[in-house]
Amino acid sequence: MIYDSARWTATLAGRRVLITGAARGIGAALAARLHERGARVALAGLEPDLLGSVAAGCADAPWWTCDVTDRDRVRTVVDEAARALGGLDVVVANAGVAAQMPVIGGDPAVLEQSLRVNVLGVHNTLSAAGPHISHRRGYTLTVASLAAVVRLPLLGAYSASKAAAEALGDTLRIELRPWGAKSGVAYFAELDTDMTSRGFGTEAAAVLAEGARGAMVSRVAPLKAGIDALERGIARRSRRIVAPWWVAAALPAHAALQPLLDRAVQPSLRRALEIARAEHAGLTTPQADRAL
């Protein structure tokens, strides 16, 4: 597809957008891109210094520290963002965490916090945003992952949480239809972000990839590929947003793809699991008052 920034600028200009997880990675880059296209952005996240810097680059956009697992805080931030922008047209539920976790012998706290942030946090965001975006220009976007439908070892906690987030986004799409609003889900493979380098840049993951000779995962794609896709998708209020391009084919083909991936990882899987059970891999974003 030819990238036409002028087309998206015309469509996005004036849109009132709240982005969670906006301190770094996808959220920060998306805020900068949408601001560049004329949207009015508001930001929420956990890291105030980083949030302030992102906001400064977006013409001093309003921002709030917000733990998305805190339902009352999320509702307050969403309501305040709506007041600051004079309403909301788009809410991007982007806040998320990841860490490797073998199902047997892994740290259950990784699963618990992944579910709190990636599922309950998404629900808190979408639920609070619902009344504000229930209009004909309204749109919510849940940032899921290719891992929501394609499973890899060590990613059980992440895949489970993103599959649940996908279900919430799809269900909301149906429930918003009477008001003319829309809801989309974004599916990314590995993009060049902190989540990829910090969450999956472990010894166990390296051993797994080496044994599979690169067959089990794609090469890390530039962050720009994801931001370009998000820009187009938000402008169109798309049901599905994917990056890199080949994820569009992987989604419907996942049933056939899964057995191939299962076989590809076998040569080094036992060793990788042994390493992972002894290796501490913290969550990708520091969590307030959490040990992980």
Q: What is the pLDDT of residues 207-240, one digit of tens each?
A: 988 877 645 455 788 999 999 999 999 999 999 9
Burial zone of 93 (CB within 10 Å; 0-12 exposed, 13-18 middle, 19+ buried): buried
Residue pair 71/124 in contact by the 8 Å Cβ criterion: yes
Calpha distance 42→78 (Å, rounded): 9
- Give the helix/strand (H/E) hosting 185: strand 182-188
Tokens of 238: 């798309």
Axis crossing angle, helix 266-278 with helix 203-212, rounded to the nearest 10? 180
Q: What is the mean pLDDT of residues 175-199?
A: 87
One-letter identity of residue 238? S
- Closest-CA residue to 85 (of 129, 125, 123): 129
Residue pair 260/271 in contact by the 8 Å Cβ criterion: no
Catalytic amino acids?
158
Calpha distance 225→285 (Å, rounded): 22
Q: What is the mean pLDDT of residues 20-39?
A: 97
Tokens of 276: 């992972």
* CATH class belonging to 16-193+220-247: alpha beta
Calpha distance 151→258 (Å, rounded): 7
Calpha distance 235→252 (Å, rounded): 24
- Give the helix/strand (H/E) hosting 93: strand 90-93
Question: Taking 80 as the threshold, does the pLDDT of residue 287 lie above it?
Answer: no
Q: Parse the chain into domains and list their residue ranges.
A: 16-193+220-247
Cα separation of the two ends of the chain: 41
Tens of pLDDT along 46-69? 999 999 999 999 999 999 999 999
- Closest-CA residue to 41 (of 26, 25, 59): 59
pTM reported for the whole predicted model: 0.91
In 3-state terms, what secondary structure has residue 160? helix
